[in-house]
Amino acid sequence: MEADEGAQMHPAKAPSCKSQEMLHARLQADVRVYMKAVQQLEYSALKVGNDPSFRKALRDVQIARAAFIEARKKLNRHIASHNCG
């Protein structure tokens, strides 16, 4: 039997795994925390002067952003290595 010339070969996609589901949930949680921190920063920025709440909100955003980026990297690495995405 001849192979169909128009057929494309795709690597088999593994079914979703628990690790991928947990990493995806972590990413979603980190996105929510990041968005909330940005909203708080925006609110604090409206205050006049060098308010301590603004500096705290800025630090919170920086920490949340770093957590989000790390969670995204972990999920992407997992999916790439396990082909479960």
Write the CB contacts of 47 (distance below 8 Å, at least 6 apart in sequence): 53, 54
Q: Hey, where are the domains in the chain? A: 18-82
The residue among 10 and 52 whose pLDDT is bigger is 52
The whole-number pLDDT of residue 47 equals 74
pLDDT of residue 13: 55
Q: Calculate the alpha carbon distances from 65 to 6, 54, 71 in Å.
A: 45, 16, 10
Question: pLDDT tens across 25-70, in order?
Answer: 999 999 999 999 999 998 888 876 567 888 889 999 999 999 999 9
Length of the chain: 85
CA distance 23 to 79: 10
State residue 3's pLDDT score. Answer: 47
pLDDT of residue 27: 96
pTM of the predicted model as reported, rounded to 2 decimal places: 0.70
